[in-house]
Structure 1
Amino acid sequence: MALALALSSSTMPLHAEKGTGQNLLTSTFNAFQTPWISAPQTDSTSMLWFTRIYKQTSRPRKAFVSVATTGKIQLLVNGMNVSRNLYEPFRSYADTTEVNIRYDITPFLARNNTISLWYCPTMPHAGRKQVAISYWGELADGTPFAYNSDETWACRRANRGMQWASAYQQNPLSHQQDVSSDRQVSSSGQQYPSSGMLFPLAEWHNATDNATPWQINLADSIPWLSASRYNAIHVAPLAQPLQLIPAPRVIKVFSPEVQNTKSDTLIYRFPRHFQGIVRITFRGTRRGENIYINHLRYICNGATDEQAFSKFTLTDSFNLIIHGDKHFRLKSVQNVEALEIRIVLYRKFLF
């Protein structure tokens, strides 16, 4: 359950040590302030993984996590997605407003708990204030606990990243200009607003990066680094109640109605324009094979079945074009689905 709140500009020092038995859970929930952390080296295109294992004396009776961020996030506890949204919050291009989202993670708890976070920067932002995470609650005997993110959190670059829309040049079909509007339209049917919510960004996904269990265990086979604390007076500001925050959620899944083949390229047409993502299932690909799916570059892992989709990029789509490198075979495409989303405003509150 996500309880998200917009942040105020006020700050206050952190008075309680993390992990102590001091009661930080007040009735008005004036929560302790949390320092920002980031990857040791930051840029505007790298998605990141942050993770931390908390070993406790018993399974907590209740627990909460708050995540302040300047980008987009997805929170996982013991490998499970805490929210039903694709990610949180929805952001317009270059929006780096500090947002604090609070989650009730009680249903996902065990004795030892792994808290993991996907982070995606808002291009072209490359700042050091990426995330500030707090984990607090009560143990089975009622003893309160509280932890803040610091250098003990591990991080690494994810197997996904962002790139500019120039990646669409990989598309073998040329772009056109819709003279009846102010939108640039590709022959794939995707529309790039000159202004508005969606911006022509692209993603890549390297599925050969064998980091599947990262959100559950800190696997030794994966190179991890210690997160860097943002050493500045400014810390994650306090949340305020009764604010609205937007987040994308899937409202409908449907299939294309037309499929055409042009040389080594597959072209699909959906029943209507929709805002969201497209999910493709492949079978029989070659490890390291490059496939281009409109705005997504996917590097195959060669598994029996694998799925390609964008994680933090939403587009307006009507047609879908799939092509690849010299190893690409049309019969590798097993299924095509449109995931239509709606940007929903959630009213948040203190609990």
Structure 2
Amino acid sequence: MRYITTLIISILWVLSSHAQEFGIHWISYPLPNDSSEVWFRQSYIMDERPTQAFMNIASTGNYKLYINERNVTGSLKFDGIKDSILLNRTIDVTRFLKNGENVIAVWYAPQGKPSYGKQLSLEFYGWQQDSIPFYQKADGKWFCRQLKECSNGKGERFHARTNTQAWKSEEYHPYGWIHPTGCVITDEYRQDTAYVANYKAFCDKKVIKDENKLYKVLKPAYTYRDSTGYNIDFGRPFYGTIRLTLRGAGKGTRLKINDFLYICNGELDEQAFCRFKFSKQKIYTLSWKGIFKESDIVDIEGLEISE
């Protein structure tokens, strides 16, 4: 009974103290455009691992959420907007946290429509070991960086040579990164019932589930060459993307997979796959410019996503 009373008081304290803050608080790369991807990150020091912690997140684009380098979303991506509706999600992140420094990182990609300076809204809240609630939000103290030579415009593009995978780690220092800007709330996007459900999730410790789950990993039925390039046929159409594991590809080789362009970094092992743009296809066609041969592909997977 005493625990329940303490919990109720804690919830009321958070809701009353942050009634004007809990919700949508946009941050954005200072000069956003409709195609360039952006990295966001911030570190929070915690004396001890909290008993319960949540992330409340919304975005006007597609995104991935990481805590201490681990993919919190548990899927290939989250849709920020679906059918012109802004999706607002609450995720239980307790198991991803630790004592000391915790790095929260978000990979954002536009969905091909203007963001009006509104790219990411994120709130980090919960209860410490002594039952005292805590609350943090993404604000102008965060760091952000626009990805070089990467875009999510007409065709997705990723330059592996100029973009490190260490950006979401504790050891990485964001030298040269800049602080994001904020944006006032507008009714440019309407919110669905998921936003209302967040308050129930906050009280009941429930989460809103992702729709874009990895359903099945497929292997090619066969491959063949023709005038268009090296073709990979999976035997049936599926919604998702292809993932290639490469070994020994020439540094700077431009690998085209349908309308996705991947520029190789030349490391021993690397993976090329569409990170945000999924489609329903049966055949993927590869072509390349640079030092590359078919034997450099050591694994081919079709990642089928539940729609």
Partner of 1:331, secondary structure, is helix
Residue 227 of structure 1 pairs with residue 216 of structure 2 = no
Q: Does 1:121 align with 2:85?
A: no
Q: What is the alpha-carbon distance in structure 1 between the residues aligned to residue 186 and residue 279 of structure 2?
A: 38
Normalising by structure 2, report the TM-score.
0.82
State the alpha-carbon separation in 2 of the partners of residues 41 and 207 from structure 1. 23
Which one scores higher on RCO, CA 8 angstroms, separation ≥ 6?
1
User: Which position in structure 2 is the counterpart of 1:207?
Assistant: 160
Correspondence 1:84 to 2:68: no
Work out the CA distance in 2 between the residues paired with 1:295 and 1:206: 14
Question: 1:239 is paired with a residue of what secondary structure?
Answer: helix
Corresponding residue number in structure 2 for 1:57: 47
* 1:240 alignment counterpart: 196
User: Alpha-carbon deviations, 1:25-56, whole Å to 9, x = none?
Assistant: 57xx9972342100011011111111110112
C-alpha contact 2:102 2:170 (8 A) present in aligned 1:
no
- Residue 317 in structure 1 maps to residue 281 in structure 2: yes
1 or 2, which has the higher helix percentage?
A: 2
Amino acid at match of 2:289: D
Deviation at 1:220, TM superposition (A): 3.2
Aligned to 2:8: none
Does residue 138 in structure 1 map to residue 150 in structure 2?
A: no
Whether 1:66 aligns to 2:81 is: no
The one-letter code of the counterpart of 1:239 is: Y
Report the identity percentage. Answer: 28
Structure 1, residues 239-298: CA drift from partner, whole Å, max 9, x if none? Answer: 212998862111111111121134793112111111110001111111111110112100
Tell whether the 8 Å contact from 1:71 to 1:96 is kept in structure 2 after alignment: no
Alignment of 1:89-104 (within 5 A): 89=79, 91=81, 95-104=83-92
Q: Distance between the aligned counterparts of 1:123 and 1:264, measured in 2?
A: 28
Is the Cα–Cα contact under 8 Å of residues 40 and 143 in structure 2 kept in the other structure? yes
> What secondary structure is seen at the aligned counterpart in 2 of 1:240?
helix
Distance 1:226 1:342 in 2: 36
Instruction: Return the alpha-carbon distance in structure 1 between the equivalents of residues 32 and 48 of structure 2.
Output: 37
> What residue number does 1:148 align with?
137
2:204 aligned partner: none
1:87–1:247 Cα contact (<8 Å) kept: no
Contact 2:36 2:152 in 1 (8 A): yes
What TM-score, normalized to structure 1?
0.73
- Which structure 1 residue ranges, 5 or more long, are not aligned? 1-21, 165-201, 344-351
Determine whether 1:108 maps to 2:108.
no
When residues 90 and 271 of structure 1 are mapped into structure 2, their CA distance, relative to the original with a 3 A threshold, is farther
1:163 aligns with 2:149: no
State the 1:212 CA deviation.
Answer: 1.3
- The number of aligned residues is 282
CA contact (8 A) 1:25 1:31 kept: no
SS of equivalent residue, structure 1 residue 24: helix
Q: Which one of the candidate residues 20, 26, 36 is aligned to 1:46? A: 36
1:257 and 2:221 matched: yes
Give RMSD over aligned pairs. 2.9
The answer to whether the 8 A contact 2:89-2:208 is kept is no
How many Å separate the matches in 1 of 2:25 and 2:141?
A: 13
| Partners of 2:208 and 2:178 in 1: CA distance | 35
